[in-house]
Structure formats: structure tokens, C-alpha cells
Amino acid sequence: MEWTAEVSVDEALARRLIGGQFPGLRLRSLRAFAEGWDNSVWLVNGSLLFRFPRRAIAIPGVQREMEVLPDLAPLLPLPVPRPELLGKPTGGYPWPFFGAPLIAGREASDVDLDGPARAALARPLALFLRRLHSPEVAGAITGAHELPADPMGRADMAQRVPRARSALEEVERLRLWAAPASIWALLDAAEPLPAPEPECVVHGDLHFRHLLIGDDGGLTGVVDWGDLCFGCRSIDLQLLWSFLPPEARPCFLDAYGPVAGDDLLRARVLAFFLSAMLAAYGHEAGMSNVEREAVGSLERAESD
């Protein structure tokens, strides 16, 4: 499986790495906080999150987070991680890692969001992405850092449509969700689209696990920036289809601004791909909340 760890970071290893490289940090408490495809996250003293890569493919992204996020964070209207404690490879662990202050909130899949609660997030989410995708942020970040141009080919439909088909076939094989004929036709229509030119700074992997929701139901932060790159806005706009109910999409677009039809189609293809991948991951990893939210994402993306 593509999310299988190459290096597992258990409590003993996390304690050894943190204590060995940051002797001034007194480890009063340490607990597993989260785990994704590429990283394990440990919470220190209830206030610091340490992010450890699990797979070699994640290393360029972790290094990019360490270098770019301190400059990007002050430019955005919502909190994002600010790496402060930068760990180096050691004899017992081959990769860099970092610690950043905890951002309040829970992953969106761990919150029971109904339609009105999701609709209330449309405007703040749109304003966040409008700022992230702005020429001002692009100028500030690309002037100081060399970002790769859509290295995963997420906006390239010649690459992404076949992968979306495979992911949808897998969720059907697992009996989680079956795409109707209209979705296969949509993928066929998207595949010939030309690969777009990179135009703005994008998160690159902006799905529900990377949105933090507070106790009041509001957005409190955006995390996991390992796929941060220069790309087409459609890469991040997949949330328009997968996360928001149809009735909230006009509100999002009113706040975000005009989006070309081809970019909306690219975003929708990516919504099906990411949601299907997350549904299979949640199912096979025994993460019922992730599976539930991902299947709901597929259902929302199906609705015009």
C-alpha cells in the first residue's frame, strides 16, 4: 500500500530524538497525536507538535515546510504550522523533522458537521484560499523560495484522470461507494484538458484532514503543507466539490472570485481522486471517521 510506513516512529524513538536534539525542552508529557500517509505526529507537553516523516517520498515536503512556512504563516488569515524546532537526521533516524506550536482544533473528519455547519465555512475557506492564491503571496514566497511547479501533476488531467478512475474502482471493489455513469462521463470529458500553467502558491493536498475545526464550528487552521508548491488554483479548489454542500458553493465563489470552467472541472476530478483514496485509506486503516467523511465527500462531489 502506498501509505505503508518505511520507518515507524514509536514513543521510545520520538522521546530519544526530541530529548537528544533539544535538551533544553523538558519532556513532561508525550503522546501520539495523529498519523497520515507520510508523517507521524507526536504532542509534547500539550503544546508542541513534532512531525516525523514515515516515508522517504515525504522528505522534500518536510524540508519545504521547515523553510517556507515561517515566511508564509504571517501572510495568511488562518493559522498554519510555524516550525520552530528543526531536527536533523541521526544514526537512529535518517530524516529531518520539526516541532511547531499546536494549533487549536480538530480534523474536520473528527467533527460532526451537518449541511448548515459546512455552509458556514464556505466564506472563511474562500477568503483563506483567495489570499493564499493571491499575486501578493506569490510574489513574497516565490521571491524568497524556489517552489516546485505542481510536482505531483495534480492539475494535469492526462495524469490525474486515470488515477481517479483507479481510485474509484477501488472504492467500488471495497463496496464503499459506486460512481454513477455521469461521473465516468465527467472523467472522460476532463482527460483531454491541457495541463495548465502554474499561477499561484497552493497548499497542494488540501482535503478535510488538513482543515482544523474549533469547538464553535469555525475554521481554526490549515495544516500538513508537505505538498506546498506553485501550481494551478484548481488543485486547492477541490474542496469546493468535496467539502461544501452544493448550496454553499455560490457563497464560496462570491467570496473567492471568478473561476474558469476548465479549472472547476479539474478541481472536481481531483475531488473524486482524493476522496476515493481517503475512503480506501480510512477503511483499510480502521479509521471510521475518515472513511465516513471521505464517502460523504464523494457524494457531495457527485452533486452539481
For residue 3, the model assigns a pLDDT of 56
> Which DSSP category does 45 fall into?
T
183 and 141, same domain (yes or no): yes
Q: Which of 82, 288, 120, 81 is nearest to 214 (CA)?
A: 120
DSSP-derived letter for residue 93 is B
Q: Are residues 200 and 72 in the same domain?
A: no
Total number of domains constituting the chain: 2
Chosen domain end from 75, 101, 127 = 101
Mark which of 79, 101, 123 sits at the end of a domain.
101
pLDDT mean over 62-78? 96
- Which CATH number fits the domain that encloses residue 278? 3.90.1200.10
Q: Quote helix, strand, coil % in the chain, to nearest 5.
A: 50, 15, 35
CA–CA separation, 40 and 64 (whole Å): 17
Give pLDDT tens digits for 290-302.
999 999 999 999 9
* Residue 5, domain member (yes or no): no
pLDDT band at residue 151, thresholds of 50, 70 and 90? very high
> For all residues of the chain together, what is the average pLDDT?
95
Confidence check: pLDDT of 209 > 70: yes
| Statement to judge: residues 69 and 126 lie in one domain | no
Q: What's the pLDDT at 186?
A: 98
Question: Are residue 117 and residue 251 in the same domain, yes or no?
Answer: yes
Domain that holds residue 223: 106-302
User: Residue 177 above 90 pLDDT?
Assistant: yes
Q: Is the pLDDT of residue 138 over 90?
A: yes
Q: Is the pLDDT of residue 212 over 60?
A: yes
Average pLDDT over residues 259-264: 98
- What's the confidence (pLDDT) of residue 38? 82
Residue 2 domain flag: no
Contact 282, 291 (CB under 8 A): yes
What is the pLDDT at residue 24? 92
Do 25 and 149 sit in the same domain of this protein? no
Q: pLDDT of 38-57, one tens digit each?
A: 888 999 999 999 999 988 88
Based on the domain organization, do 55 and 112 belong to the same domain? Answer: no
What is the per-residue burial (b if ≥16 Cβ within 10 Å, else e) of 199-213? bbbbbbbbbbbbbbb
> Are 90 and 118 found together in one domain?
no
Asked if residue 275 belongs to a domain, the reply is yes
Give a yes or no: residue 240 inside a domain. Answer: yes
Residue 2's pLDDT is 55
Q: Is residue 1 part of a domain?
A: no
